[in-house]
Amino acid sequence: MLGNQYGKTHGMYKSITYSSWRSMIHRCTNVKGRQYPDYGGRGITVHEDWRKFENFLADMGERPSRDYSLDRIDNDGNYEPSNCRWATRSEQQKNKRPARLREKCKRGHVFAETGVYVNKNGGRQCKVCAKARARARA
């Protein structure tokens, strides 16, 4: 793995900055990783120079604290100097991809065919399932 190759030369092997760098590499390159479909699987890549930790550190500087994490300014863009910053959780919440709406309810009814109720919390509810629940209560 890339992380083991560089961990001994810079003395930052246990730092939060190194951990962020290693996670970035993992998300974009490890096809077996849980987050790969949302990163490498979407074509998100790591800048060639950043595959070496020292270059990443020179461009980004140290992670300010545990309250910050690596953020891509353009969520469809790559991990590269012009598209990355250290951001707080609240900054990242304002900068995320819109959630993809489910196409089916939990019981497998296709929303487009059955119709949808929107509940007071903004969630979607299948009309077929809602009617079945109402009949069961009656």
Predicted confidence at residue 98, as pLDDT, reads: 62
pLDDT tens-place string over residues 21-46? 999 999 999 999 999 998 999 999 99
CA–CA distance, 69 with 135 (Å, rounded to integer): 49
pLDDT tens-place string over residues 80-127? 999 999 999 888 887 766 656 667 777 777 766 556 766 666 666 777
Domain ranges of the chain: 2-93, 101-138
